[in-house]
Amino acid sequence: MSEARKICLLGDFAVGKSSLVARFVRNTFSDKYLTTVGVKVDSKEVRLTDRAVKLVVWDLAGKAELDSLNKTYIRGAHGLMLVVDGTREASLRAALYLWMQSQKQLAQVPVVLMINKLDMIDRWEVSSADIARLSESVPTFRTSALSGEGVEAAFTTLAQRVTERP
Amino acid sequence: MTKAASVVQGALTRFLMERSKPLILTVFRQRQVLSVEGDPALYGIRNGDFGSVLELVRNLLVGVDAERLTVWPLVDIGNRRHTSILWVPDKPNDHIIVTDAEMCGEELTERQQAANELALANVEKSKTIRELKAVRDELQAKSAALNEIHKFQRRLIDTLSHDLRTPLTSISGYAALLEPHLAENPVTMRALSAIQRNATYLKNLAENLLHLAAADNGSAPLLAHPFALEQLAEDVESIIRPMADGKRLRLNVDWQSTVQKMPVFDDLRLRQILLNLVSNAVRYTREGKVDVELRYDGDQLTLRVTDTGIGIASEYQDTIFEPLNRGAQQGCEGAGLGLSIVKQLVEQMGGTIALQSAVGVGTRIQIVLPERAAALEPAAARAEPSLRVQSERVIIVDDDPDVAEMLVWSLHEIGYMPQLIHDPSVLLARVAAQPPGLIIIDVDLGVRSGLAVTQELRLRGYTGSIIVFSGANNTNTRQAAKAAGADAFLAKPLDMPKFLAWMKRLLPGA
């Protein structure tokens, strides 16, 4: 049996967290926006070069800040996936704020940043310069839940990182 | 526990059990269900298949201490159904309690969905507003840039036109002065005629460009006043005659008034209209004649120009009055401004234009202008008062050596020995020592304005005549000249025959 690791997706509302999970776990996509209430938990086994790991993915309700419910949910997480809507610059600030708040709840855990909605790049507000700067401190992926671009790579990277820790 | 407390506890337990509809599973090592209390079907569990619940609980336990009681509220167990899940460790077996959170979850979902959709709509709205503002700012910036370019073009046209006038004064003036000396030599006369013809064309072009620049500025109001129809006819003929003669065309200029009173129009504009029409007619006529008729009946003025020229094809007749339209006379010279300016001026004066033309036969353009008393402005603004020459001494003040020399030469031709002064301060000293009968002074003297010098002369008590001339042939300059104390204003390029006629009339001893 592969080892299991808990990762939580954090980000503002409507940035595409549930869509990214649907793409990663079930390889599906729906363009209908359905807000997440509470949490939805899925899992998927990820094969790394030297082992397999079961990623337990917690898809949390989108918030610009960490409320008490989400604080409960992230307890025990091995890694965080910060999700940003590339077309909304404000969602980048929200993600960074959530990251900062989560650090009070969790020990230093691996983090990956997903700048989502790559399929709408002509409407992106998040600049390439900002992404380049962020990439220096956190693995950053341009993703599209619609096309799947960058999704597998982002989850695999986080899976790799969370298994490197005891 | 008292009896009452016991009753309350019992009631509360029953209430909570009814509301939460708990499903209690006793499990072994998170994988085997040992006993079930409650209705599994309420949570979508059929036929005793608890695999998905056990899988979910095992996932929930990842990262947490399974030896401790743990609660996970509002967990979506699929199909957007929400439950709260409790893990109750109780070695050797454990318990999983699943309670219904649907009432809470459903309401929350609806509220959250509505709030998020509203927030998304607001984000889109803000973004759209930002984009619209950006587009507006961009348009404003482009508009400002275009305005700057437009202003620059107007200044450029204005400057070029003014700068054309000064050398044209020299060219026309010297050509006129040379004419009597070269009359016996046909070759040089033809050359001189070509110089005069081209100078006339350039002068007309400069006037048209100036008109365009002024019209763009909205600073070209009509200035109507009584004028002599005969004089207008003579002016036009004298200017166009060399062009017509150069092409061996017959030019007939005829005027007629059926009333005693003088017509009241802006004669500068009329002159501009006629010069454009007649010079066009001469330009596009290879042989034959050009007839110019001026008719005034007391209510309206009719201008008619008829030529035996190349004519205008019917497909061009609708566009011939548009700016820079030279389609009708391909290959012929001309900037294509004249007729568009004629149309502008006629419309400004409330008149009409009629065009008749046939290719190879000729063209007739008739303009009818109503006399409008309402358009009248004080005629004094452009009146040319008679000169009060007290002696025959004349001083010319101009810092342009070509124009100054030409004026001196012109006055020599009619018997004067004018003094030429370039420096205004020298002029003031000379006038103080011995006042001349007439001072002819340019407005643009470089170091000082001729208007300021004129005003100072008057303030110092000079009572002789002053003629101011300038390349800026506009109402402002004319009025400024008058206000400064000038007796007359002449525009550059100087119309030499007219200037000499003035001199002869005002200085009878010449």
B357 and B388 together in one domain: no
Q: Do A34 and B76 touch (CB under 8 A)?
A: no
pLDDT greater at residue B315 or residue B362: B362
- Structural domain range at position B271: 227-376
B366 and B390 together in one domain: no
When mean pLDDT is compared across B140-149, B168-177, B390-399, the lowest value belongs to B390-399
Query: Nearest residue of B to residue A54 by CA position?
Result: B59
B264 and B338 together in one domain: yes
CA B471 vs. chain centroid, Å, equals 24
Structure tokens at A121: 């790049």
Q: How far is CA A131 from CA A10, A92, A99, A117, A143, in A?
A: 18, 10, 16, 14, 12
Q: Which residue, B376, B402, B419, sits at the end of a domain?
A: B376
Question: What is the residue whose two structure tokens read 């990663």?
Answer: A24
Q: Which residue, B85, B100, B115, sits at the end of a domain?
A: B100
B313 and B291 together in one domain: yes
Whether residue B156 lies within 8 A of chain A, CB to CB, comes out as no
Q: Would B184 be classed as within a structural domain?
A: no
> In Å, how far is A4's CA from the nearest CA of chain B?
7
Q: Would B406 be classed as within a structural domain?
A: yes
> In Å, how far is B64's CA from the nearest CA of chain A?
5
Mean pLDDT in chain A?
95
Count: domains in chain A: 1
Q: Do A41 and B60 touch (CB under 8 A)?
A: yes
pLDDT greater at residue B49 or residue B176: B49
Mean pLDDT in chain B?
82
Q: Which of B113, B123, B127 sits opposite A35 (nearest CB)?
A: B113
Contacts of A14 in chain B (CB under 8 A): 116, 119-120
Q: Do B80 and A34 touch (CB under 8 A)?
A: yes
Q: Would B244 be classed as within a structural domain?
A: yes
pLDDT(B388) > 70: no
**Stretch B191-206: mean pLDDT:** 75
Q: Which of B59, B105, B112 sits opposite A41 (nearest CB)?
A: B59
**Stretch A55-78: mean pLDDT:** 95
Closest-CA residue to B157 (of B218, B219, B208): B208
> pLDDT by residue (tens digit) across B404-427?
777 777 777 676 778 888 888 888
pLDDT greater at residue B48 or residue B293: B293
pLDDT(B371) > 50: yes
Q: Do B109 and A5 touch (CB under 8 A)?
A: no
Contacts of A41 in chain B (CB under 8 A): 56, 59-60, 75-76
Q: Would B119 be classed as within a structural domain?
A: no
pLDDT(B454) > 70: yes
CATH number at residue B406: 3.40.50.2300
Q: Where are the alpha helices (DSSP H) in B183-228?
A: 186-217
Give the whole-number percent of chain B exceeding pLDDT 90. 29
Q: Which of A37, A56, A73 sits opposite B105 (nearest CB)?
A: A37
> pLDDT by residue (tens digit) across A13-29?
999 999 999 999 999 99
Contacts of B73 in chain A (CB under 8 A): 38, 69, 72
When mean pLDDT is compared across A45-59, B174-188, B282-296, the lowest value belongs to B174-188
**Which residues of chain A are at the B interface, by a Cβ-Cβ cutoff of 8 Å?**
4-6, 13-14, 33-43, 56, 61-62, 69, 72-73, 75-78, 88, 90, 125
When mean pLDDT is compared across B57-66, B273-282, B337-346, the lowest value belongs to B337-346
Q: Do B59 and A56 touch (CB under 8 A)?
A: yes
pLDDT(B220) > 70: no
Give the whole-number percent of chain B exceeding pLDDT 70. 86
> In Å, how far is A34's CA from the nearest CA of chain B?
7
Q: Where are the alpha helices (DSSP H) in B327-468?
A: 338-348, 401-413, 424-433, 450-459
Question: What is the residue whose two structure tokens read 């166009």?
Answer: B240
Cβ distance A21 to A59 under 8 Å?
yes
Separation CA A33–CA B34 (nearest Å) = 40
- Structural domain range at position A102: 3-164
Confidence label for B378 from pLDDT (cuts 50, 70 and 90): very low
When mean pLDDT is compared across A50-54, A143-147, B4-8, B31-35, the lowest value belongs to B4-8
Q: Tell me the backbone φ, ψ of residue B99, rounded to 5 degrees.
A: -120, 155
CATH number at residue A9: 3.40.50.300
Q: Which residue, B100, B117, B147, sits at the end of a domain?
A: B100
ipTM of the complex, rounded to two decimals = 0.94
**Stretch A138-146: mean pLDDT:** 97
> In Å, how far is A13's CA from the nearest CA of chain B?
7
Task: Return the pLDDT at B382.
Answer: 38
Cβ distance B457 to B425 under 8 Å?
no
B318 and B428 together in one domain: no
Q: Which of B55, B62, B109 sits opposite A6 (nearest CB)?
A: B62
Query: Nearest residue of A to residue B65 by CA position?
Result: A76
Query: Nearest residue of B to residue A39 by CA position?
Result: B75
B325 and B387 together in one domain: no
- Give every CB contact of residue B224 below 8 A, 6+ residues apart in sequence: B264, B265, B266, B372, B375, B376, B377
B436 and B470 together in one domain: yes
Query: Nearest residue of A to residue B119 by CA position?
Result: A13
pLDDT greater at residue B508 or residue A134: A134
Residue of A6, A33, A37, A58 to mutate for B, most B C-beta atoms under 10 A: A37
Cβ distance B363 to B306 under 8 Å?
yes
Contacts of B52 in chain A (CB under 8 A): none
> pLDDT by residue (tens digit) across B246-296?
888 999 999 999 988 889 888 878 888 998 899 889 988 999 999 999 999
Closest-CA residue to B494 (of B466, B463, B471, B460): B471
> In Å, how far is B78's CA from the nearest CA of chain A?
8
When mean pLDDT is compared across A121-125, B100-104, B335-339, the lowest value belongs to B335-339
Q: Would B200 be classed as within a structural domain?
A: no
When mean pLDDT is compared across B120-124, B184-188, B302-306, the lowest value belongs to B184-188
Count: domains in chain B: 3
pLDDT(B46) > 50: yes
Contacts of B112 in chain A (CB under 8 A): 35, 37, 61
Q: Tell me the backbone φ, ψ of residue B108, rounded to 5 degrees.
A: -60, -40
B402 and B292 together in one domain: no
Q: Do B108 and A5 touch (CB under 8 A)?
A: no
pLDDT(B375) > 50: no
Query: Nearest residue of B to residue A91 by CA position?
Result: B123
